[in-house]
Amino acid sequence: MKKKGKMIILTIIIILWMAFIFSMSAKNSTQSSSISGGFTYKILSMFFAQFRSIDKTTQDSIVEGLQFVVRKGAHFTAYAILGGLCFADLRVLDKFKLKINFIIALVISALYAASDELHQYFVPGRSCEIRDVMIDSLGALTGITVVIIFSKLIEKIKQIRTAKK
């Protein structure tokens, strides 16, 4: 696929991913809690068969205790994906050096995280947390780093294959 086509596809995916993040942030506290609680319940049920056999009050207590970790993990993961996508798009553009691409992708992700937290301030029952911007930014940093590592590995594999020919 040509460079322009890759850029268009990646840019569309980035916009769709940002829209997904925005839509999750637009859910009020009850809806958001229901999503993260339901996800936590499913994971616990899947990996711990005995979880389903304990009483509902204890299940709810366990789920409630783990929801914070699940919610912050979702923040981290969503922005790891965003950061990785932004960096990959900039690499396809191939206009800047690696370090500049890294910084631009991180800044885009961090600014989007900040704007998303500001957006949550206006959603009933939600709040604007600097801590979440930091978690999101760390996620983006991680996603970018993973893309860099995989890119380097792919380059090495290509070099090895070319050398063998």
Structure confidence by residue, pLDDT tens digits, 4-41: 899 999 999 999 999 999 999 999 989 998 999 999 99
- What pLDDT shows up at residue 8? 94
Q: Which domain holds residue 47?
A: 3-164
Q: Rounded to two decimals, what is the model's pTM? A: 0.88
Q: Which residues contact 44 (CB under 8 A, 6 or more apart)?
A: 51, 59, 62, 63, 66
* Residue reference for tokens 């940002």: 18
- For 74-103, the pLDDT digits (tens) are 999 999 999 999 999 999 988 889 899 999
Residue 3: predicted pLDDT: 84
Q: What is the rounded average pLDDT for all residues in the chain? A: 93
Half-sphere exposure of 109 (CA within 13 A, CB side): 36
Indicate the number of domains in the chain.
1
